[in-house]
Amino acid sequence: MVKIKKPRYVEKFSFGNEGSGNMLIFGDNMEALDSLSENYSGLVKCIYLDPPYNNGEKYTHYNDDKEHKKWLDDITKRLKMLKPLLSEDGSIWISIDDSEVHYLKVAADEVFGRKNFLTTIVWEHRTSRENRKVFSNNHEYILVYAKNPEKFKRSRNLLPATDEILSRYKNPDNDPRGPWQSVSAHVQAGHAVKSQFYSIIAPNGKEHKPPNGRCWIYNKEKMEREILNNNIWFGRDGNGVPRVKKFLSEKVVGITPETLWLGSEVGTTNTAKKHVLSIFPTSPVFDTPKPEQLIKRILDIATNEGDIVLDAYLGSGTTTAVAHKMKRKYIGIERGSHIFDLVVPRMQSIINGEENAGITEEVGWNGGGGYNFYDLHPEEINEHKRIYQVN
Ligand SMILES: C[S@@+](CC[C@H](N)C(=O)[O-])C[C@H]1O[C@@H](n2cnc3c(N)ncnc32)[C@H](O)[C@@H]1O
């Protein structure tokens, strides 16, 4: 039997407040996940995975060219280990592109159950045209599964209302309850009861009948009460079709997340690369970072402050950077030595409040917090001596 390696705390690379509970783990995610299974079972609210896509590329920081079956077996094993870590209302979001998405979907269905599949997000990862290819591939996918879709639905957040949505709330009658928008006062007659068919008499005496095939939303008694309470709008001149006033102050105004995520809203690979380059102007470019805004949208939907977020393919550290700025707890796992060259300094400048890019301004991040660093097998990497400064 293979012995589970226990992550070793490394003070040298840990930073800031020690009691934060945040973890960066240097090592293969299979081993790291093994070691987490004991203490984190059922506790992780959101898992984000951005694995190598198996696109045949050799990037500066890692290779992305496994034999298809081996790639699929490897990721399936990891999904199996991740599943028990999810909380009952937890969700897992997996980035992938065209070449393996369909195989990954079938594998993930088997692990998480088809009924727990929520959706496929299409992310516009580039906005420029690639003329050298037959098709200029402008999108990637994010497969989303819930541990339990009903529980996830109850706990997931709406996205903040846009200025455009808020601007629909106005106050043409100077109502002391503040801005409102109006919705139709009649509904389909299909399931109506008799008491919903009558004529409304407006305050100016005008009679309104429901249109053909429709009935009023309330019965006559309730409608008269609502008119008295100034909750029904008859237009500026009092002659309009009756509509129901909905007040901004009484609503949780938010929008249901859609499945098409545009680069202009959540960033592109290019904007993410520029961001990483702005933090490390002299280091080799990390080729496949995700934009902070993309991860923020996922965490906005799937988590609240204090929830645990896990990323088992951390790369340049986008997930932990965003989770930190959004005051989520996090576990980030990365086996490449770029965890030292990119992730550690990125996190440290966030904790020091020195980094002013990505979502920093949007969330009002000023610095603070910390993380603990752990490793599993540093002796195995070539650069071990340089990084750990041992002889
Ligand atoms: C596509 S990149 C992730 C990029 C990341 N989302 C970002 O924004 O920077 C995939 C990363 O997974 C890492 N990786 C691949 N296999 C791994 C494994 N078995 N354990 C831990 N990390 C792994 C690679 O070294 C690479 O940094």
- Can you tell me the distance from the alpha carbon of 3 to that of 334, in angstroms, rounded to the nearest whole number? 20
Q: To test the ligand 1 pocket, which listed residue (55, 62, 271) has its Cβ within 8 A of the most ligand atoms?
A: 62
Instruction: Report if residue 186 sits inside a domain.
Output: yes
- Can you tell me the distance from the alpha carbon of 135 to that of 43, in angstroms, rounded to the nearest whole number? 42
- Can you tell me the distance from the alpha carbon of 49 to that of 79, in angstroms, rounded to the nearest whole number? 10
Q: 239 with 287, same domain?
A: no
C-beta separation of 319 from 296 below 8 A: no
Taking only the tens place, the pLDDT of each residue in 329-354 is 999 999 999 999 999 999 999 999 99
Does ligand 1 lie within 6 Å of residue 333's CB atom? Answer: yes
Instruction: Report if residue 306 sits inside a domain.
Output: yes
Q: 99 with 196, same domain?
A: no
Does ligand 1 lie within 6 Å of residue 200's CB atom? Answer: no
| Long-range CB contacts (within 8 A, 24+) of 345-349 | 345/279, 345/280, 346/276, 346/279, 346/316, 346/317, 346/321, 347/15, 347/24, 347/317, 347/320, 347/321, 347/371, 348/15, 348/16, 349/279
CA 62 to ligand 1 centroid distance, Å: 8
Instruction: Report if residue 198 sits inside a domain.
Output: yes
Does ligand 1 lie within 6 Å of residue 318's CB atom? Answer: yes
pLDDT mean over 316-331 = 98
- Asked which of 250, 269, 294 is the last residue of a domain, the reply is 250
Task: Note down the domain range covering 271.
Answer: 8-157+256-388
CA 113 to ligand 1 centroid distance, Å: 25
Highest mean pLDDT among 55-59, 145-149, 354-358: 145-149
Q: 294 with 348, same domain?
A: yes
Q: 272 with 169, same domain?
A: no
Number of structural domains found in the chain? 2
The pLDDT value recorded for residue 191 is: 85
Closest ligand 1 atom to 276 CA: 9
Task: Quickly state the pLDDT bin for 380 (edges 50, 70, 90).
Answer: low
Does ligand 1 lie within 6 Å of residue 50's CB atom? Answer: yes
Is the predicted pLDDT of residue 60 greater than 90, yes or no?
Answer: no
Does ligand 1 lie within 6 Å of residue 313's CB atom? Answer: yes
Q: 13 with 51, same domain?
A: yes
Q: 371 with 293, same domain?
A: yes
- Asked which of 250, 267, 297 is the last residue of a domain, the reply is 250
Taking only the tens place, the pLDDT of each residue in 225-280 is 999 999 999 999 999 999 999 999 887 778 899 999 999 999 999 999 999 999 98
Q: 129 with 146, same domain?
A: yes
Q: 111 with 171, same domain?
A: no
Q: 239 with 274, same domain?
A: no
Contacts of 189 (CB under 8 A, 6+ apart): 196, 197, 210, 213, 214, 215
C-beta separation of 275 from 289 below 8 A: yes
CA 313 to ligand 1 centroid distance, Å: 4
Does ligand 1 lie within 6 Å of residue 332's CB atom? Answer: no
Q: 149 with 172, same domain?
A: no
Which residue's alpha carbon is at the smallest distance from atom 2 of ligand 1?
315
Does ligand 1 lie within 6 Å of residue 291's CB atom? Answer: no
Q: 201 with 321, same domain?
A: no
8-state DSSP, 154: H
Closest ligand 1 atom to 338 CA: 27
Pick the closest to residue 315 from 350, 289, 341, 292 (CA basis): 289
Closest ligand 1 atom to 74 CA: 19
Instruction: Report if residue 1 sits inside a domain.
Output: no
CA 52 to ligand 1 centroid distance, Å: 6
Q: 236 with 302, same domain?
A: no
CA 312 to ligand 1 centroid distance, Å: 7
CATH number at residue 383: 3.40.50.150
- Asked which of 223, 250, 277 is the last residue of a domain, the reply is 250
Q: What's the pTM value of the predicted model, to 2 decimals? A: 0.86
Instruction: Report if residue 3 sits inside a domain.
Output: no
pLDDT-above-90 percentage for the chain: 83
Instruction: Report if residue 2 sits inside a domain.
Output: no
